[in-house]
Amino acid sequence: MNAAVKPEALQKTGFGLPDERELRDRMRQELPADTFKAQAWRVIWFLPLQLVIWGGIATILLASLPWYANLALGLVVGHTIGSQALLAHEVLHGSMGMSKRWQNFFGWLGFGPMIVPPEFWRKWHNVVHHGHTNMGDADPDSFGTLRRYKIDPKQKKFTKLAPGSGTWYSYLFLTYSFTFHAQMVLWFQTKRRKQFKGVNRRKAILQSVACLTAWLVLAAASGPLAVFTVVIPFMVANALGQGYILTNHFLRPQTATNNPLDNSMSVRTLPVLDRLHYRFSHHIEHHFFPKMASNKAPRVRTWLEHNYGERYMAPSHWKAIKLLYSTPRVYKSATELVDPNHPERQFDLLPLQVEMSAAARQR
């Protein structure tokens, strides 16, 4: 532990208490009952999202607009694809009810453009990630522990891509890494790890190839305009999702218990973006209640702030991304980050816990 952080200071934050079940039970009792009910009507949001995506692509291809107008449309299309994936994430958790078949249909609309088959996503995200959040090397969405890189030193090269590595190309990581990581999980982790037992790898790989083929067909049909119909939308959609996903857990300690107050982090963003992004900023809330509709997540945030403000971690989105790019990504210990390529670069997460708890007390 950092010498500047006294044990009693950390203890005051409540860090490490195995009370996640108790907290869930209390919230279910004290919050309105409709907070946790499925809301099938919210699936209607896919209609305007699809209209914006296809309308934007058609306009780029047919309207002969100047490059800057096409650029603006490409950014809007990419943002909308990213937002649609966040909505599909809700659907595949069951927040809108529906049968698995209908969930998969809307899952394809949201995750197909990201080259992630919905059935594979459900196993990867809902089961393995949520079931092993920030636990050692078991979480497929973590860069894991230093032990992993000592066993296989070649993996150190991969960490150079990541935020916090200090390489110039790490600043491009957000623009492709959701799709890239999904393929790494599909091709390698599902083959080696018992948590993915039952995944139909061959089917998921063929589905991914079909999604990639669709992008390539659009690129071929677009010609030079593919920069605006394919490249920019794909990069923006990845960056939107990863701008949240990479801050959800990478700045939190690894924990023995799956307590969202300890292993997860929410962020605070502009209200208009919060609505456009289906409140993905409310991530601690989501890990407590994965099937809860996102439009009810502010109720959970308010309850947590009122009752457990010193433990609830929700910095500004900008601060979270800044911290992400100034800290290493591999766990030397449960509470210390290290760069395996430059072991002298280390970061203690405990002072951050105390600092943010102090800031919460002042709000």
What residues does 131 pair with on adjacent strands?
Answer: none
Is the distance from CB of 169 to CB of 161 less than 8 angstroms?
Answer: yes
Beta strands in 47-144 (DSSP E): none
- Name the one residue in this structure whose structure tokens are 């999980």: 185
pLDDT tens per residue across all 363 residues of the chain = 344 444 555 555 667 778 999 999 999 999 999 999 999 999 999 999 999 999 999 999 999 999 999 999 999 999 999 999 999 999 999 999 999 999 999 999 999 999 999 999 999 999 999 999 999 999 999 999 999 999 999 999 999 999 999 999 999 999 999 999 999 999 999 999 999 999 999 999 999 999 999 999 999 999 999 999 999 999 999 999 999 999 999 999 998 889 999 999 999 999 999 999 999 999 999 999 999 999 999 999 999 999 999 899 999 999 999 999 999 999 999 999 999 999 999 999 988 888 877 776 666
What pTM value is reported for the model?
0.94
Measured CA to CA, the distance from residue 265 to residue 245 in angstroms comes to 10
CA 3/CA 241 separation, integer angstroms:
36
Are residues 52 and 76 in contact, defined by beta-carbon separation less than 8 angstroms? Answer: yes
Q: How far is CA 261 from the centre of its chain?
A: 16
